[in-house]
Amino acid sequence: MNYKRILTIQDISCVGQCSLTVALPILSACGIETAILPSAVLSTHTAGFSGFTFRDLTDDMPAIKAHWQKEGIQFDAIYTGYLGSTKQVGYVKDILDTMGKDGSVKIVDPAFADNGKLYPIFDSVYVEAMKTLCPSADLLLPNITEACFLAGVDYKEEYGEEYVRGLLEELSKLGCSTIVLTGVGYTPEKTGVVVYQNGEIAYYEHRRIAKGCHGTGDVYASAFTGALTRGKSIFDAAKIAADYTVRCIEHTQGDPEHWYGVKFEPVLPELIRMLE
């Protein structure tokens, strides 16, 4: 296997199993050298904890990028997750446009909404800023809520294949023709992922686990990015990431003390086997 280097840009929630504390170990387990660019440092994530600390690292980003350029550092893949401000979106767009090697893959996980609503710190101005990343991405990795906000399509709790196709077609008009849409379920018992490439759709369905867990979007995006960087096709990477995420949730069920994330670490050997 060709040894590759990936850059992931997102926050560090020191406790809570999300963002970089998920991305770094999962990508490393996939056998990929993983560089990080933290967008912020929080004592915990913001869902369920109170009184958390927050340090914004926006102003550090240009200097870090300048040092990398001075050292001639480039990346085989760049994967973005949770970004904390519109100013950061602008810096990240510049990094996507300039820091990849020839043939690098750039993956954008919008990470700003779920269940029909924006996360509390975001607004329509942020959504408009996030749209500017789409032309710089080779692949978008939104959930249905994020796709609706980006595409300007009304969010629906119940929908069919025609609705999903229309949503993807509208989203692709922002400048990225390859989209992996997560959380797509046509029946109450099932969910899955839709892979959209140049107008063609493929769907991978798996069982829906009623009780969700915080951070599963980051688990999915990291496993997908790792599998894709390892040379898997987009559809196979989407399938592997879905299967791994389900196993992480299953491994966490039944432990009421572990409400803040998923126990993804003990399941990493299964992800490694999926990649072989």
For 140-180, give the DSSP string: E--BHHHHHHHHT----SS--HHHHHHHHHHHHTTS--EEE
> Selecting from 3.40.1190.20, 3.90.1150.10, 3.40.120.10, 3.30.70.141, what CATH number does the domain 5-267 have?
3.40.1190.20
Tally of CB atoms within 10 A around 267: 20
Among residues 113, 199, 116, the alpha carbon closest in space to that of 156 is found at 116
pLDDT digits (tens, 9 = 90+) for 228-269: 999 999 999 999 999 999 999 999 988 889 999 999 999 999
pLDDT digits (tens, 9 = 90+) for 28-40: 999 999 999 999 9
Query: Average pLDDT, stretch 90-110?
Result: 97
Rounded distance between C-alpha atoms, residue 131 and residue 150, angstroms: 6
Q: Would you list the domain boundaries of the chain?
A: 5-267
Rounded distance between C-alpha atoms, residue 85 and residue 98, angstroms: 20
Rounded distance between C-alpha atoms, residue 92 and residue 94, angstroms: 5
**Residue 63 structure tokens:** 């200097």
pLDDT category, 1, cuts 50, 70, 90?
low
196 backbone φψ class: left, alpha, beta (φ>0; ψ -120 to 50): beta
H or E stretch covering 224 = helix 216-229
What counts of helices (H) and strands (E) characterise the chain? 9, 11
pTM: 0.96
